[in-house]
């Protein structure tokens, strides 16, 4: 298990503060040699999630102080190993959730966080389902616990998480009502959901027409005042799973207060004696106090998702592939809300 002793030159995209997407900086620096239990990963694909969009505005809960390198997840090839790490990992492709740091040509990560990517799965395809796939899988099976024959509502069915949720649910024999702009209705229908226009002021009434007895689960990344309408869609025993607050993304001030208000509202609803459940999905739940079990759960769930991609059950929705040096354009495109799927950042040509 000889360690890597040479340094690696890395190109990184830096978020310097609250700036427009074109305000990102490019820096080049030498990475130190990997320490005990670490590897050097060459980025094959990373991407833009809602988290980076919030971080740009300084509104993502518990984000690091500016400046920092964003990038929530990454798929890459091991090119160097630190002490205590099997050299045979070199040359193999893995996925890893980083929270920050993924927008770089090379980065150092913990070997224990690596999840193997099947040889037959393209790096960009795998990237679309790292955080998005784990989020969708865990919300469906660990949080909402929906079953075959159930009916669910997916807000933003054309997005990265939403499109994955639709496909997982349909594969499991679950009926899906998915909201999206009219331009994406054909694509959402092709994924297997019944599309409803989220711009329609009668959207929730339309959903109730489609499911007059109520639905078994609503997956809501929007939050805000309309969260009440999502709650009202549930039948007895149903679950409201909130996993974001997109409605407050552009509001001035800290992002902590809207999240705290959201938590409070969900707790109140969850305490009501009507058989319904409400909760906030936290991707990082358990990491601080049970890191080993967190890693095991993440690896198990991501492996299941990647196997579905390899089998052709999950069709990754890649909105665009944009070179690392144009990360600002990738961020702007993702924020435009005009795309289907995930904007993927790839190495320079």
Sign of CA dihedral 31, 68, 330, 25: negative
Q: Classify residue 202 as exposed, middle or buried by CB count within 10 Å of its CB (0-12, 13-18, 19+).
A: exposed
Please state, for a pLDDT cut of 70, what percent of the chain lies above it: 94
Phi-psi domain of 69 (left: phi exceeds 0; alpha: psi -120 through 50; beta: other): beta
- CB proximity list for 101: less than 8 A, separation 6 or greater: 68, 69, 70, 71, 107
Query: Does 200 have pLDDT greater than 80?
Result: yes
Instruction: Please tell me the predicted confidence (pLDDT) of residue 224.
Output: 86
Q: Given 3-state DSSP classes, what are the helix, strand and coil percentages for the chain, each rounded to the nearest 5?
A: 35, 25, 40
What are the structure tokens assigned to 10, written together?
């890395």
Q: How far is Cα 196 from Cα 106, in angstroms, rounded to an integer?
A: 42
pLDDT in tens, 64-76: 999 999 999 999 9
pLDDT in tens, 225-279: 899 999 999 999 999 999 987 876 666 666 666 667 777 788 888 777 788 999 9
Query: Does 15 have pLDDT greater than 80?
Result: yes
Picking from 173, 259, 184, the residue whose alpha carbon sits closest to that of residue 223 is: 259
What are the structure tokens assigned to 102, written together?
């993924």
H/E element, 321: strand 318-323
Can you list the domains of the chain with their CATH numbers? 130-280 (3.40.50.720)
């Amino acid at each position: 298990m000889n360690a890597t002793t040479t340094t690696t030159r890395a190109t990184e995209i830096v978020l310097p503060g609250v700036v427009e997407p074109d305000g990102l900086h490019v820096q080049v620096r030498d990475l130190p040699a990997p320490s005990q239990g670490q590897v050097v990963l060459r980025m094959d694909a990373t991407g833009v999630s809602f988290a980076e969009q919030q971080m740009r505005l300084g509104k993502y809960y518990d984000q690091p102080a500016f400046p920092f390198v964003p990038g929530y997840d990454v798929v890459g090839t091991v090119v160097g190993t630190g002490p205590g790490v099997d050299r045979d990992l070199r040359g193999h492709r893995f996925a890893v959730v980083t929270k920050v740091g993924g927008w770089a040509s090379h980065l150092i990560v913990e070997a224990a966080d690596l999840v193997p990517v099947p040889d037959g799965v393209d790096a960009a395809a795998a990237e679309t389902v790292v955080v998005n796939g784990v989020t969708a899988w865990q919300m469906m099976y660990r949080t909402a616990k929906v079953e075959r024959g159930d009916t669910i509502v997916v807000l933003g069915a054309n997005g990265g998480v939403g499109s994955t949720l639709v496909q997982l649910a349909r594969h499991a024999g679950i009926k899906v009502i998915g909201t999206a702009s009219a331009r994406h209705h054909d694509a959402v229908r092709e994924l297997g959901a019944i599309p409803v226009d989220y711009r329609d002021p009668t959207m929730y009434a339309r959903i109730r027409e489609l499911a007059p007895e109520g639905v078994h689960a609503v997956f809501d990344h929007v939050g805000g005042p309309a969260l009440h309408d999502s709650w009202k869609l549930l039948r007895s025993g149903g679950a409201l799973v909130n996993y974001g607050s997109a409605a407050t993304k552009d509001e001035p001030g800290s992002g902590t207060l809207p999240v705290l208000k959201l938590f409070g509202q969900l707790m109140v609803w969850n305490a009501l004696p009507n058989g319904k459940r409400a909760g906030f999905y936290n991707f990082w739940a358990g990491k601080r106090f049970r890191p080993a079990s967190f890693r095991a759960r993440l690896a198990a769930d991501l492996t299941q998702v990647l196997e579905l991609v390899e089998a052709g059950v999950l069709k990754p929705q890649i909105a665009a592939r944009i070179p690392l040096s144009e990360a600002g354009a990738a961020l702007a495109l993702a924020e435009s809300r005009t795309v289907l799927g995930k904007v993927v950042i790839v190495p320079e040509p």
